[in-house]
Structure 1
């Protein structure tokens, strides 16, 4: 009893020194509940099929399937997953309060070669016992994925690491296009682009089609890899997704290029003499 009392006193003193409540010392964090993860997984599946569903319609659809869920809970989960209904509305991505928003530079621009335009965005990746975020950087012309790291947070450092990985393995783009989310409008990220002479382009609010190629890529990734394997851990997800991206780049013919893969188109394009443009697969600007 004396030893236990001494240990309790020691714990109290430690909490006072650290400036935390005693209850915090005993707290043992637990992972997300199975039911919550199952619901998030289903919301993600439905969103791929019905990207125009907002929280109200998503909640109605889930109730039709027998799930007891309200609109406010669905809204919280969709916000956590970074899902936003696709339709014209005042705000789709929120930049930081003091972050500069750059204009969209791709309207009426003919993209005719690799490394002319890169695009980037972030999506939610479900697992059996949690979820991660995937940032994808893609070459707009060839559709080759240049970087695809996973993280459990949406910090700017995560996005910077993805950018550095893409720059280290590929060339330097003329234009970098993203949405107006705070990781992309942060000073650290935009300064890294400016330091390399890269022009910054950002999707307009409500303009989901401005970055449609990555949206299509995510659909293929989730249906052909993520949902089929239901990864248990982050390491499994990283290995499985990396394997599928290698397959996508080097073995899977892309519909935009006939029988050619994104990797083949990218390699052929950067091998062309300077000033010579590609004829096949030119990007048609989105209306």
Structure 2
């Protein structure tokens, strides 16, 4: 006696009905996956149900079953009579389990090539009928073969260019920046095409990872007012800056990076790297930014979070000395310093992804190299895919021309 099925009879009947409702267009595995059973179990249930129906017809015990079976046989007979003269449906076609066809492995994307390869054995008409395509479509495909070969060659060349740019930028660039780089090189190619080619060939830019908290609020220090109010836009240089601190894992310890970013050009005008989070970390970054701008930064607004370093008296004194107006967002709201947060997300995605430094000297060198790369070579979406340095140069040139006019 066979092992009893763990599924109730009602469940099995419904499963069989669900499979048959697909009209043979869905595989056993596809239907079984929805039900949480195996495809072989469903196949067995369908076969047993079909056997029961046939037995009922033969025995004549169920008039309704006999009528249904008779109607099915008449419909099948009518379909066969309408088939091509001398060729019943499926006659002399390759067997489902044969060398040419296997269950679930039917030719789809390369059907035209398949017909060309086997037309001598089976004929174009038969193969088109088996594959469910038109002969006119096949012959049209044949007539455009030369154009397809040329298009394929262009696509191969485009993929090679995309891979080169992707590798040059250490795998950090996604489709938008790859397209911008190609455009800057004089290459005329649609952005959607770049996206499609990268998707097909699995060329993927880096994605974000979770970060560690570095903002530790000093509740005893008086905060500065929020002069930015989440308006991270600026028409001129040295009017709005923003900054923050992030961590860099190095072996079993950390390095910390503080930045100063010009909101107008997104350029990192100052930064500092240290193995501590004292106030000197942020004051050193400010001093570098002031020096990079020639010391003329009076009136610039510098926006940060409310970390202890930024509310310290040391930092306030440095800002006061250079005429910098401090601005701070609310506690626990990354949106209040979104531009600085976005910069660090990009850095960790593009530089730290997959890296495990054991030397602080090496980590500092790589950070320095990336900062230079970011300012001078990395294309920024908010700048029309110009680099920060290019954007500043164009902005200054346009201002000079307007003044000369």
Corresponding residue number in structure 2 for 1:100: 222
SS of equivalent to 2:222:
coil
In the alignment, is the contact (CA less than 8 A) between 1:151 and 1:158 conserved in 2? Answer: yes
Q: Deviations over 1:169-207 (max 9, x none)?
A: 125261011111111111111111112222111012233
Shift of the alpha carbon at 1:155?
0.8
| Change in CA separation of 1:105 and 1:121 when aligned onto 2, cut-off 3 Å | same
For 1:17-96, list aligned pairs within 5 A: 48-49=208-209, 81-82=213-214, 93-95=216-218
| Cα distance, 1:49 vs structure 2 | 4.1
Matched, 1:151 2:274: yes
User: Per-residue deviation at 1:108?
Assistant: 7.3
> Residue 212 in 1 paired to residue 338 in 2?
yes
Report the counterpart of residue 114 of structure 1 in structure 2: 237
How many angstroms does 1:149 deviate by?
1.9
In structure 2, the residue matched to 1:167 is 290
How many pairs align?
192
Whether the 8 Å CA contact 2:303–2:326 is kept in 1: the answer is yes
The equivalent of 2:183 in structure 1 is none
Residue pairs, 1:7-18, within 5 angstroms: none
Q: How does 1:226-241 map to 2 (within 5 A)?
A: 226-241=352-367
5+ residue gaps, structure 2, are: 1-207
**C-alpha spacing 1:94/1:215, structure 2 compared with 1 (3 Å):** same
Alignment of 1:117-266 (within 5 A): 117-171=240-294, 172=297, 174-266=300-392
- Which structure has the larger Rg over C-alpha atoms? 2
Structure in which a larger fraction of residues adopt helix: 2
Runs of 4 or more off by more than 2 Å in structure 1?
Answer: 48-51, 107-110, 266-274
Contact persistence 1:123–1:134 (CA under 8 A): yes
Q: Is the 8 A contact 2:241 2:262 kept in 1?
A: yes
Deviation at 1:50?
Answer: 5.6
TM-score using structure 2 length: 0.44
Alignment partner of 1:210: what SS?
Answer: helix
Structure with the bigger RCO (C-alpha within 8 Å, sep 6+) is: 1
C-alpha distance in structure 2 between counterparts of 1:127 and 1:225, whole Å: 13
